[in-house]
Amino acid sequence: MTPTSDNGLSLREKAAILSETLTAIMTAARFRVFDGKGTPPLPEVAEDIPFDSSRAELTADFVSGVTRLVVIWKRRICFYRSYAIVCVLRARGAPVALNFGYRWEGPAGGMAHCWMTLEGKLFRENQETGRIYTSLLGERGSAVRFWADPDNIPANGEKTVKKEIAQ
């Protein structure tokens, strides 16, 4: 019999998820530091593993807890948490997608946010996000989507083109 912990994941599962979460966080951090932009690669959805929504929630809870402990700098925590959960869950058959959104707030810039969707629906995310980032700008495969808040786009800034990094 495999020993289980209080949240329903076995210790063996937890150890594997912990390792994968740390790898994902390091990959994301290395990508941010050395590449400066873009999105690190995401694993394909493991199609040979049946998707179990309750297991996905348990797994995401555990990954989220690890991320909170490890990502102590808090900046872009939404990106690190979402990226780690998406990596771990896709490897377990869950078709989770990573979403980036940008909201312009004034001439100085705006706010970027990162969240997850599962089969097109918000996953572990405040419903408000779906009301803010309503314009889908583009998709990269089935794994990454880019959104924008269509309101308040600065159209008369001093610069001809204003560039924002979505992370």
Partner 1 sequence: MKYQTPEDVTWKNLKSGIVLLNLSSGEYYTLNDTAADIWRHAVEGEGREAIVRFLSETYKDVPAEDLTLHVEESMEYFLSEKLLVASAE
Smallest gap from Cβ 91 to partner 1, in A, equals 22
Residues that bind partner 1 (CB under 8 A): 37-39, 100, 102, 104, 135, 137-140, 144, 146, 148, 150-157, 159-167
Smallest gap from Cβ 153 to partner 1, in A, equals 4
Closest CA to 41 of 91, 75, 92, 78: 91
Smallest gap from Cβ 159 to partner 1, in A, equals 8
The residue among 12 and 150 lying less far from partner 1, judged by its C-beta, is 150
The residue among 1 and 108 lying less far from partner 1, judged by its C-beta, is 108
Contact 7, 58 (CB under 8 A): yes
The residue among 1 and 33 lying less far from partner 1, judged by its C-beta, is 33
- Helices 77-90 & 53-70, crossing angle to 10 degrees? 140
